[in-house]
Structure 1
């Protein structure tokens, strides 16, 4: 990559993937505040919750309340994670416009995450698509464990492509390819995203990466070079999957934005996003893993992306 990539959208997934493993709950009203602040700062797209079983993922139990608290215009830019046609129906009835229908490429992880094998989830997708489209909404095909599975190890890329090419997924607006465990390397990401992009040239390819092995930004840039039109990140690198042992946080939204430099982003907005990230993760008693925060705190006032250059107060240190 040689310069800014204004055509690549950043989706912040803090309020779904980011909250799955947090020990402290975040009140519904606070979630709505965060949605509005992220949208105000220019973040194009957000993932705001999940219809996973509330007893298994308690931090997301109020997702439909969050949906109810947002305006129709706000919901046009928000996504809700679903795993069954019934989830889709509940989400759109509550007012959601965009749903992410998730299944795992690995049967073992699909059973752990959703309670059924991959084929059963895939067989139900036509009903999920029909329900979303009948309500005037959009639906994504989201493929978890597209690179590795915590139970079975490396995943055959051909298995990913068979699902992508399956006619039962026709009607999905996007294909989301997930490095659920953060174990992929840039070459692997480039190869798989490229194959998915060639298989579904008329749909947007989304890359969802984690930073377990420190490759989150590199993998995301590789995905963009290979044809991804949207990428996922979470504030401060928050997140992980409760049903995937070994998964750590998402790639940090701040780090992705600094690398991608979309046309809507300027140094002042990045500083404001960093301040929001610090505030939120302190509320949750979670460590902030964003490397961009270190850069923003630099005393090098000649560099426009630092808080010092912006004349902003020094950002306080993140919690240990």
Structure 2
């Protein structure tokens, strides 16, 4: 595809920031509710259209997610229209919607081994429960996503057959999902794989908005995201500073950095000032968490190439 065409397509792609869920779940520090809410609002203020604000995973298993219900309760209905909560069971949705949530990412793995490790049940059992999850979401006028983790590789089983992902996407028990999330959970996919699977989802499964969730374990996070967008994905997930990873997926590293994705995608709302706001938020958060900042765009923004408009001046 000509570069100008890809650039045009990429600029229309939306970014969903997942710092408050996937980004935080491997850290050893739980952020106070007030700090999480402030970060969500800072992301919205900078122009990020959608934010994943937490997970209904058990707090004893994933401690940084223990105050997700409090975060939901603190956000306004208008903010919650653009907020997503990770769920794995109908009961998760019941609890989250009571707190005010309306948008749910119903997630399970293409591979049974990872689903057992992550959720404690088979993939088929997760699918079997999805109609109830859809019904609960529809009762509050919300949206539910079919999120397929380990769409490319599994830490326990190796390569995942693309036909397995397509079969899940076509399963009648997933009817009612507004979107489908294709996850490179381990960050082991390459652009050819990403492009091929996304194109198959576009052509062989029910029409839904496609989200690509990538990790940058092997340094292909941004190029995989671009491949996904070119193939038909409308939304790309990222986390500030490349923070994150799955606690039940050995070998997984951080998400593709929000800063890197935005610098590459250049959505219409992004300008150097808003980019600078996100760089500053990223630096404050990762410093507070004691985590390394893996964003290459952030590194470039703090360089000495003063003539480049995307450079973020160092103050004080």
Query: What TM-score comes out, normalization by structure 1 length?
Result: 0.95
**Which residue does 2:294 correspond to in 1?**
289
1:71-128 Cα offsets, whole Å, 9 max, x none, are 0000001000000011111111110010000010000000000000000000100010
Residue in 2 that maps onto 1:32: 37
Count of residue pairs brought into register by the alignment: 311
C-alpha distance after superposition, 1:142-170 (max 9, x if no partner): 00000000000000000000000111111
Residue pair 1:20, 1:242 contacting (<8 A) in 2 also: yes
Cα deviation, 1:216-271, whole Å, max 9, x if unaligned, reads: 00100000000000000000000000000000000000000000000000011111
**Cα distance in 2 between the residues matched to 1:31 and 1:255:** 22
Provide the C-alpha distance between the structure 2 equivalents of 1:290 and 1:266, rounded to a whole number of angstroms: 18
In the alignment, does 2:142 pair up with 1:137? Answer: yes
Match of 2:257 among 252, 257, 269: 252
Q: How does 1:265-284 map to 2 (within 5 A)?
A: 265-284=270-289
SS for the counterpart of 2:11 is coil
Question: Aligned-pair distance for 1:199?
Answer: 2.6
Aligned residue among 64, 86, 104 for 1:59: 64
Within 5 Å, which residues of 2 pair with 1:1-320? Answer: 1-2=3-4, 3-4=7-8, 5-200=10-205, 202-307=207-312, 312-314=313-315
Q: TM-score, normalised by structure 2?
A: 0.97
Please tell me the root mean square deviation across aligned C-alpha atoms, in Å. Answer: 1.1
Q: Distance between the aligned counterparts of 1:109 and 1:247, measured in 2?
A: 12
3-state SS of the aligned residue for 1:15?
helix
Q: Which structure shows the bigger proportion of residues in helix conformation?
A: 2
Following the alignment from structure 2 to structure 1, what is the Cα–Cα distance between the partners of residues 248 and 314? 40
| Superposition misfits of 4+ residues, deviation over 4 angstroms | none
- Secondary structure in structure 1 of the residue aligned to 2:20: coil
Structure 1: distance between partners of 2:289 and 2:118: 24
* Partner of residue 318, structure 1: none
Conserved 8 A contact 2:13-2:234: yes
Change (3 A) 1:115 1:189: same
